[in-house]
Structure formats: structure tokens, C-alpha cells
């Protein structure tokens, strides 16, 4: 992995109305890494992705992409570099999977905007990689959550972008599909050398699959670093205001988080105290 910054974000501040939603963020996204953004609801994760893809413009600070100010690039140039997998994708018409994936080619079309043989080839490769080719003729509405998510990733891949931004890619998916999507993300990172930025709500998946994590707290970076540096009991309990247990996953060595309700941890403490007093008496 090289250490060239892909994105460089400096002193970023953003607000939708009066109050700052992002309040002075500085970070880099390194080429070839999987960067996870974690933090409580409303801490500003999705807003960061919207700024990196220039859907929103910050009131203060700068975002550089490969050393160029993001504001200096056209929407078309940005779409050729950055692929986005949003949290909810709305389709106004009953498109087939193949049609949805071909939409990924639109930043590259010229003239009347008709797809060439090469565009069809690229879309087909994206579907092969995401295992969606077998249902390319089915309507996107008819798919299960996991199949649909793979089709949306295929669309972003057909874009042939260098970086992919994913917003909670496994929300609403069962554990089998969650692993499938994260394995696909890892495969794209390794085989296609894609840089990936993931807003992740599952701390354990983020810990397992991301090279680095940013832990956000109310629009500020609370901690940034490797999963081992970020996923600690102290950091998580402070930012999420919840009791957690962090241990080492015995299989992978990555930090593993167990949520503890206040009620359960009280019961556990009492049980330990009783066991101890039984031993003493």
C-alpha cells in the first residue's frame, strides 16, 4: 500500500443551518486503503461523504483530491473518479439490474450518450465481479436487500472510479449478506486496488475490514487510527455513552465489541461480587 493521500481534508466546517454539523475536521485518505467512518447517529458521517463527493460544499476549509481543490473539478470529472453507494437509492422507473449497472457508464458517455460495445463490456465485468450477472434481466425492485446492494455496487464499479464511498452498505441486511458485502469490498480493494471510504454502523465489521478508522463525535474527530487504536472501551463508552466490552477476536486478532446494557452489567457485577464473597466465606 502506498501512502500518497487521495483526499486531503483541512479545517473542514459545515452547517446546514445555524449550528456546525462538522466542526474543524482535518484528515487524509490514503490511496489503496479502506477507511471506516464510525460514530453515533447525527455525528456527521453521511455529511462527510456528501462533501467528499461534492454534493455539498463546505462553508470553511478545503478538500483536495490528488492535490487539486475539489471545487475546481467539474461534476463529470468528479464522477469519473468517485463512485458512490448511497444509503437509499430511489429508482423512479422499473429498471432492470443491467440497466442500473449501465447507468454507471454515464460520466464517460459523449455525444448523444449512447453506450458503446466497450461500455457494455465494462458493465458486464462489473456484474461478474459482484455476482449479479445471473439476474441482470430482473427488475431492481424485485431483488432481496443483499442482491440489490450488490447491483448498486456494480453500478459504482462500472463507473471505473478510483475511490468508492459507501454509506452504511450493510444497513438492513442479515449477517450472511453483511459478510458477503464486506468480503466484496475487500475483494475490490485487493483485486481492483480501489480506495474505499465506508460509513459503518457495525463496529465489529468496521474493526475487521478497515485499515484505519475515524471515530466522530458531534462533528469532530474524537480518534483516528488503526482499529486497535480506535476501538477501545474508553473511546467507545465516551463517544457512544454506552457500556461496552472490547476483547481480541480469537480468530483474527481484531478488536471485538460486545454491547453491555447497564442492567446486564449491574447483574454481572453483582454475580461476581456474590461469587467472590462466597469464595471468601
Q: Which residues sit at the interface with ligand ADP, rule CB under 6 A?
A: 16-17, 21, 39, 41-47
CB nearer ligand ADP, residue 39 or residue 107: 39
DSSP class per residue in 193-247: --EEEEE-S-HHHHHHH-SEEEEEETTEEEEEE-HHHHS-HHHHHHHH-SEEEEE
Q: State the angle between helix axes of 145-158 and 117-129 in degrees (0 to 180), rounded to the nearest 10.
A: 140
From CA 273, how far away is CA 281, in angstroms rounded? 12
CB of 48 to ligand ADP, least distance (A): 7
- The smaller minimum CB distance to ligand ADP, of residues 147 and 167, is found at 167
Q: From the centroid of its chain, how far is CA 120? A: 27
Instruction: Please say which residue, 46 or 162, places its beta carbon nearer to ligand ADP.
Output: 46
Q: Which is nearer to ligand ADP, 21 or 34 (CB)?
A: 21
Nearest distance in Å: CB 179, ligand ADP: 23
What are the grid coordinates assigned to 74, written together? Answer: 467539474
As given in the structure block, the three cell numbers for residue 164 are 468508492
Minimum CB distance to ligand ADP smaller for 41 or for 277: 41
| Residues near 96 by beta carbon (within 8 Å), at least 6 away in sequence | 136, 137, 138, 139, 140
125 burial (CB, 10 Å; 0-12 / 13-18 / 19+) is middle
Our CB check for ligand ADP shows the closer of 103 and 218 to be 218
Min separation Cβ 89 and ligand ADP, Å: 16
Neighbours of 57 (CB within 10 A): 11
Angstrom distances, CA of residue 242 to CA of 138, 173, 235? 43, 24, 10
Q: What is the largest CA-CA distance in the chain?
A: 87
Amino acid at each position: 500500500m502506498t501512502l500518497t493521500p487521495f483526499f486531503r481534508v483541512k479545517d473542514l466546517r459545515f452547517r446546514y443551518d445555524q449550528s456546525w454539523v462538522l466542526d474543524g475536521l482535518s484528515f487524509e485518505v490514503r490511496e489503496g486503503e479502506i477507511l471506516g467512518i464510525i460514530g453515533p447517529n447525527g455525528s456527521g458521517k453521511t455529511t462527510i461523504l456528501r462533501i467528499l463527493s461534492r454534493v455539498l460544499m463546505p462553508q470553511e476549509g478545503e478538500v483536495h483530491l490528488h492535490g487539486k481543490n475539489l471545487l475546481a473539478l467539474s461534476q463529470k470529472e468528479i464522477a469519473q473518479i468517485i463512485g458512490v453507494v448511497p444509503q437509499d437509492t430511489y429508482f423512479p422507473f422499473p429498471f432492470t439490474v443491467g440497466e442500473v449497472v449501465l447507468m454507471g457508464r454515464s460520466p464517460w458517455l459523449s455525444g448523444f450518450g449512447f453506450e458503446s460495445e466497450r461500455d457494455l463490456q465494462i458493465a458486464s465485468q462489473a456484474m461478474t465481479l459482484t455476482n449479479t450477472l445471473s439476474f441482470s434481466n430482473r427488475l431492481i425492485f424485485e431483488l432481496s436487500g443483499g442482491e440489490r446492494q450488490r447491483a448498486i455496487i456494480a453500478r459504482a464499479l462500472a463507473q471505473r472510479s478510483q475511490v468508492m464511498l459507501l454509506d452504511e452498505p450493510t444497513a438492513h441486511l442479515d449477517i450472511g449478506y453483511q459478510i458477503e458485502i464486506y468480503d466484496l469490498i475487500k475483494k475490490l480493494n485487493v483485486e481492483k486496488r480501489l480506495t474505499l471510504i465506508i460509513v459503518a454502523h457495525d463496529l465489529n465489521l468496521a474493526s475487521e475490514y478497515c485499515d484505519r478508522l475515524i471515530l466522530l463525535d458531534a462533528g469532530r474527530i474524537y480518534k483516528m487510527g488503526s482499529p486497535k487504536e480506535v476501538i477501545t472501551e474508553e473511546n467507545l463508552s465516551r463517544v457512544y455513552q454506552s457500556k461496552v466490552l472490547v476483547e481480541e477476536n480469537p480468530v483474527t486478532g481484531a478488536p471485538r465489541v460486545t454491547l453491555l446494557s447497564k442492567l446486564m452489567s449491574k447483574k454481572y457485577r453483582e454475580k461476581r461480587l456474590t461469587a467472590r464473597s462466597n469464595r471468601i466465606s
